[in-house]
């Protein structure tokens, strides 16, 4: 009552009340907060009555709804103080009884009991399970650090060192490891070269291989989750063995969704090697690796990303034969649910679950993840039985214990130039301080001589300078030969400190005793800006710390700003529950379901949402999604909230002509525009913009302007250091003049005149103007996008790092968007716009202008002098075919003659 009567902020009072009552009494807490003044008045009356001894003491104020009832019951009870002195145990028993009745009443009023982390599950090993029940964890309002944490405060920095985790429980450690030699022949074939499963794999083995249960396996990085996925694949393969012990390759498909293309490529080669002896084909299907429909049908294991699989499953009837054969879906790094991309995973799982209900053909879902905070919620989302298929292993199960420190030796940086700068700084300071011997490798006689010979073969001058002192660099811009050599030298101990980018953590398995992440700001091409390093990358990098064959302890350090220290601490110590991001992308995913005809009215739309992770988190943490307590009391099932959200989205989609929505009946039907947007993965805002601005007489230059205004590029930015190169692009690599509309914005500040001049924009005198983004509908940024797109077609190679990333991002999206514009123009019957859109689509795909020589389509023909000469001589393909060998030789030399013969 003192808390309710305090003058603290409402959020603080709410958090404190829930801390006292517990999250299970959320309804009671909301009732107290809602009628706060009434209960404070009752409490004050009680204090006055007690003081004057005119009546009995009120024992349980919060259980009584009205003052009159309090006065009535006051006369019926014996004196509270007398009972407290004579028989205190009776008061305790009575209090417990009342609490039990209140809890039962509260539970009966709840819509549906959620899976609770407080329950004991047989395969959950979580030492912090009790801490996760507090409201502070659920709301993310407080940061609790493990006992033994050391916090040092300096003038210039703060340092927090977490204690080394304890060992796993002894009874778990004594679980016998599964010997591969004792497994059946199918497993022995796939696990050739492996003697036994590790601890985590042995715990999961029976459920993964002998049942069809859905699984969620959450374990530290490097704990062997890949083999768990393999066991699930083998379980499915075992079901399709015929009498001759041969696999029926046409009876099933397996989909493995990896979060990154690089990881999908690595998993493709890994599983190909293990499953090839069984006759299975494993293929990668990502944005970089396109497969034909025939190749898809011939593949048994498809390695893809969530976005690519979403595109495939959106195609409807055309790919039903493929989708209907899927019997196992493995989602790697399922904790991506909290990112913007997580909405895609939600939509995919909801689509699969509804398809299972419709077709009555079961699909096994397996989720793999690093350690999750609210793993029970994720398990419920994946329809995992928590008593059979939920496996959670905390940091105690890491193969090598990890000590972590946070400051606001494999050093991970986030730019290629930064690797060299950091390496040189380390070397110079080590020489100055007299510590260079700590970096230099030990002299090992003959091995040392071999290492020196390898160093001599390095082609990079900077590596020549650094390697003798035991310091190396590694990034994607290096020659393949030099990268391989650096990896070999580090693995053999000839390089003691390796400065590298995060790509090394995702690719080669090259563990180190210690890893350091220097800085947490990394460039994101999708947002065209520097963003916080994702927790997925942090966990992957930390996973490289500790070499099982050499170290008893691994060390990991992250160096960031003071402002971000708490952010990364809460993420690493799993103190922020994973929330849904589906509401941000509801337009696109609802349109996709309507286009697939899986949602045709409001009732079906609400049912569809009930299969998503959003629905689970709405009920567990409603305040995060803006649902006030009063609404929750009126709408405990949240049906009204979902209907209201869906109606708002459907109305906007109808206005953009992407669907047809009948408000009275709630009917939803697809349109050609909506189906095409779904097929080409076009955002709702872009589709609406194209509807308003696409014209039947648009020419190529106008279509380029239209592409530049797409919402997909809304986060693109314009930077001062790009000015000179953008001017060069405009002068040397563009066919069409980039126009500027009136009311434009410009950049001001140091170098503003140079930047604005490069784009043909007059500088502004307003000192308050900042660097513009496309999100401001700024024509200047649209011009940058236009320039990058034209320079891509002209095969220009940017030198500025940010322009390289931006050009790749623009190209990826533009090729898809122009195909959407082509389809819309075709369906509208606009012949001229259709022809222009098709020409532009081919130019973007082939990276050449419509009047360039067709010979530029050959692979690696970016700067071929022979093609340039033929183009300069205006020799078309038809003229070359008509010429004899001697004449060709006069024009182009012996190279053509060799090819002709």
In this prediction, residue 359 carries a pLDDT of 83
Reply yes or no on whether the pLDDT at 784 is more than 60: yes
**3-class secondary structure, 516:** strand
If pLDDT is split at 50, 70 and 90, which confidence band does 759 have? low
What is the mean pLDDT of the segment spanning 348-365?
91
Reply yes or no on whether the pLDDT at 777 is more than 50: no
User: Mean of the per-residue pLDDT values for the chain?
Assistant: 79
Q: Which of 208-222, 276-290, 313-327, 688-702 has the lowest mean pLDDT?
A: 313-327
What is the mean pLDDT of the segment spanning 622-650?
87
What is the mean pLDDT of the segment spanning 95-101?
68
Of the ranges 4-18, 377-391, 411-425, 463-477, which is most confident? 377-391
**3-class secondary structure, 194:** coil
Q: What is the pTM of this model?
A: 0.73
pLDDT per residue over 179-223, tens digit each?
Answer: 999 999 999 999 998 999 999 999 999 999 999 999 999 998 778
Q: Tell me how crowded residue 524 is: count the other CB atoms within 10 A of its CB.
A: 16
What is the mean pLDDT of the segment spanning 261-268?
86
Strand ranges (DSSP E) for 777-848?
A: none
What is the mean pLDDT of the segment spanning 219-245?
90
**3-class secondary structure, 625:** helix
Give me 549's structure tokens: 């064959």
Q: What sections of 414-492 are H helices per DSSP?
A: 416-433, 446-456, 461-466, 480-492
In this prediction, residue 674 carries a pLDDT of 96
Reply yes or no on whether the pLDDT at 504 is more than 70: no
Give me the numbers of helices (H) and strands (E) for the chain, helices first please.
41, 20
Task: Give the containing element (helix H, strand E) for 712.
Answer: none
Q: What share of the chain is helix, strand, coil (3-state, %, to 5)?
A: 55, 10, 35
Q: Which of 88-92, 454-458, 485-489 has the lowest mean pLDDT?
A: 88-92
Q: Which of 470-479, 581-590, 701-710 has the lowest mean pLDDT?
A: 470-479
Reply yes or no on whether the pLDDT at 358 is more than 80: yes
For the chain, give the percent of residues with pLDDT over 70. 75
Greater confidence, 764 or 462?
462
Any idea what DSSP says for residue 77?
S
Reply yes or no on whether the pLDDT at 35 is more than 70: yes
Reply yes or no on whether the pLDDT at 671 is more than 90: yes
Q: What is the 3-state secondary structure (H, E, C) of 731-750?
A: HHCCCCCCCCCCCCCCCCCC
What is the mean pLDDT of the segment spanning 336-364?
91
Contact 392/124 with Cβ under 8 angstroms? yes
Reply yes or no on whether the pLDDT at 816 is more than 70: yes
Encode 640-675: b = buried (16+ Cβ within 10 Å), e = exposed. Answer: ebbbebbeebbebbbebebbebeeeebebebbebbb
What is the mean pLDDT of the segment spanning 591-611?
95
In this prediction, residue 259 carries a pLDDT of 87
CA 184 to chain CA mean position, Å: 37
Reply yes or no on whether the pLDDT at 708 is more than 60: yes
What is the mean pLDDT of the segment spanning 687-714?
94
In this prediction, residue 27 carries a pLDDT of 60
In this prediction, residue 4 carries a pLDDT of 73
What is the mean pLDDT of the segment spanning 373-397?
93
Of the ranges 36-40, 408-412, 634-638, which is most confident? 634-638
Task: Compute the C-alpha angle 802/806/809, nearest 5°.
Answer: 145
What is the mean pLDDT of the segment spanning 324-351?
92
pLDDT per residue over 839-854, tens digit each?
Answer: 999 999 999 898 887 8
In this prediction, residue 752 carries a pLDDT of 44
Q: Which of 168-182, 211-225, 577-591, 601-615 has the lowest mean pLDDT?
A: 168-182
**3-class secondary structure, 435:** coil
In this prediction, residue 57 carries a pLDDT of 39
Greater confidence, 148 or 768?
148
pLDDT per residue over 135-153, tens digit each?
Answer: 444 444 456 667 778 878 7
What is the mean pLDDT of the segment spanning 82-97?
66
pLDDT per residue over 460-494, tens digit each?
Answer: 778 888 888 888 888 766 777 787 888 888 888 88
Reply yes or no on whether the pLDDT at 582 is more than 90: yes
Q: Which of 281-285, 571-575, 799-803, 878-882 has the lowest mean pLDDT?
A: 571-575
Pairing of strands 124-125, 390-393: parallel
- Which domains, from first to last, does the chain contain? 10-109 (no CATH), 170-395 (3.40.50.300), 402-572 (3.40.50.300), 582-659 (1.10.10.10), 684-850 (1.10.3380.10), 865-900 (no CATH)
Of the ranges 28-32, 440-444, 667-671, which is most confident? 667-671
Q: Which of 130-144, 350-364, 422-436, 621-635 has the lowest mean pLDDT?
A: 130-144
**3-class secondary structure, 298:** helix
Reply yes or no on whether the pLDDT at 11 is more than 80: no
In this prediction, residue 657 carries a pLDDT of 95
Residue whose C-alpha is closest to residue 116's, from 614, 576, 620, 615: 620
Tell me the C-alpha distance between 212 and 364, whole Å: 7
In this prediction, residue 715 carries a pLDDT of 81
Tell me the C-alpha distance between 338 and 259, whole Å: 13
Q: Which of 28-37, 296-305, 431-440, 555-564 has the lowest mean pLDDT?
A: 28-37
Tell me the C-alpha distance between 173 and 659, whole Å: 57
């Amino acid at each position: 009552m003192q808390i309710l009567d305090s003058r603290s902020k409402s959020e603080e009072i709410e958090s404190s009340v829930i801390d006292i009552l517990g999250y299970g009494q959320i309804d009671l807490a909301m009732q107290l907060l809602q009628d706060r003044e009434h209960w404070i008045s009752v409490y004050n009356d009680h204090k006055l009555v007690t003081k004057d001894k005119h009546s009995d003491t009120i024992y349980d104020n919060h259980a009584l709804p009205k003052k009159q009832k309090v006065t009535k019951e006051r006369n019926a009870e014996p004196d509270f103080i007398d009972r407290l002195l004579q028989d205190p145990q009776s008061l305790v028993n009575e209090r417990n009884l009342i609490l039990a009745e209140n809890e039962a009443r509260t539970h009966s009023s709840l819509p549906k009991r959620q899976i609770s982390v407080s329950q004991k599950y047989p395969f959950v090993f979580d030492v912090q399970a009790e801490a996760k029940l507090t409201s502070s964890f659920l709301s993310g309002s407080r940061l609790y650090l493990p006992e033994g944490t050391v916090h040092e405060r300096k003038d210039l920095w703060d340092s927090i060192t977490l204690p080394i985790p304890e060992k796993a429980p002894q009874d778990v450690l004594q679980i016998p490891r599964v010997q591969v030699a004792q497994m059946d022949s199918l497993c022995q074939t796939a696990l050739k070269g492996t003697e036994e499963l590790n601890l985590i794999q042995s715990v999961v083995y029976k459920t993964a291989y002998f049942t069809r249960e859905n699984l969620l396996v959450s374990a530290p990085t490097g704990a062997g989750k890949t083999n768990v996925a393999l066991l699930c694949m083998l379980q499915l393969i075992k079901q399709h063995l015929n009498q001759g012990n041969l696999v029926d390759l046409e009876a099933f498909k397996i989909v493995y969704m990896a979060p990154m293309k690089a990881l999908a490529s690595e998993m493709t080669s890994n599983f190909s090697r293990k499953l090839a002896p069984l006759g299975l084909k494993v293929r990668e299907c990502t944005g970089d690796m396109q497969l034909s429909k025939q190749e898809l049908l011939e593949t048994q294991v498809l390695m893809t990303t969530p976005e690519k699989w979403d595109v495939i499953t959106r195609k409807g009837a055309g790919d039903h034969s493929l989708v209907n054969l899927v019997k196992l879906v493995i989602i790697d790094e399922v904790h991506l649910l909290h990112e913007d991309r997580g909405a895609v995973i939600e939509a995919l799982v909801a689509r699969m679950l509804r398809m299972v209900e419709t077709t009555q053909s079961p699909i096994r879902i397996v989720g793999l993840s690093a350690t999750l905070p609210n793993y029970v919620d994720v398990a419920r989302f994946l329809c995992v039985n928590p008593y059979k298929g939920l496996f959670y292993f905390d940091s105690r199960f890491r193969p090598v214990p990890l000590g972590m420190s946070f400051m606001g030796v494999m050093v991970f940086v986030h730019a290629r130039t930064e690797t060299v700068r950091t390496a040189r700084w380390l070397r110079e300071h080590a020489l100055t301080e007299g510590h260079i011997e700590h970096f230099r490798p030990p002299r090992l006689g003959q091995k040392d001589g071999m290492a020196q010979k390898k160093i001599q073969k390095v082609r990079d001058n900077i590596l020549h300078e650094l390697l003798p002192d035991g310091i190396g660099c590694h990034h994607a811009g290096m020659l393949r030969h030099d990268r391989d050599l650096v990896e070999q030298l580090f693995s053999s101990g000839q390089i003691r400190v390796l400065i590298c980018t995060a790509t090394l953590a995702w690719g080669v398995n090259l563990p180190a005793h210690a890893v350091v992440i220097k800085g947490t700001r990394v460039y994101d091409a999708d947002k065209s800006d520097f963003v916080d390093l994702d927790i997925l990358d942090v966990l992957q990098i930390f996973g490289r710390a500790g070499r099982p064959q050499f170290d008893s302890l691994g060390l990991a350090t992250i160096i960031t700003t003071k402002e971000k220290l708490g952010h990364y601490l809460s993420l690493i110590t799993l103190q922020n529950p994973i929330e849904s991001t589906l509401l941000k992308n509801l337009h696109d995913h609802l349109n996709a379901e309507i286009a697939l005809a899986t949602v045709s009215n409001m009732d079906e739309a609400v049912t569809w949402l009930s299969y998503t992770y959003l629905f689970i988190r709405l009920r567990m943490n409603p305040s995060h999604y803006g649902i006030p307590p009063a609404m929750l009391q009126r709408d405990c099932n949240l049906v009204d909230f979902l209907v209201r959200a869906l109606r708002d989205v459907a109305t906007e989609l109808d206005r953009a002509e992407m669907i047809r929505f009948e408000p009275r009946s709630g009917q939803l039907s697809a349109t050609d525009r909506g189906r095409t947007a779904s097929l080409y993965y076009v955002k709702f805002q872009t589709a609406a913009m194209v509807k308003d601005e696409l014209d039947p007489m648009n020419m190529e230059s106008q279509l380029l302007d239209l592409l530049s205004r797409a919402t997909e590029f809304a986060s693109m930015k314009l930077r001062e250091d790009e000015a000179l190169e953008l001017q060069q692009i405009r002068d040397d690599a563009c066919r069409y003049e980039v126009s500027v509309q009136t009311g434009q914005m410009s950049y001001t500040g140091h170098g503003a005149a140079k930047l604005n001049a490069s784009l043909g924009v007059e500088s502004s005198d307003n000192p308050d103007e900042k660097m513009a983004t496309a999100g401001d509908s700024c024509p200047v940024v649209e011009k940058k996008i236009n320039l990058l797109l034209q320079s891509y077609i002209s095969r220009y190679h940017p030198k500025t790092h940010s322009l390289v990333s931006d050009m790749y991002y623009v190209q990826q999206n533009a090729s898809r968007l122009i195909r959407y514009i082509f389809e819309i123009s075709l369906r509208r019957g606009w012949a001229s716009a259709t022809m222009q859109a098709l020409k532009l689509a081919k130019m973007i795909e082939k990276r050449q202008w419509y009047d360039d020589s067709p010979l530029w389509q050959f692979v690696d023909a970016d700067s071929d002098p022979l093609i340039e000469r033929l183009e300069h001589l205006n020799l078309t393909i038809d003229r070359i075919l008509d010429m004899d060998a001697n004449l060709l030789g006069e024009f182009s030399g012996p190279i053509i003659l060799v090819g002709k013969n």
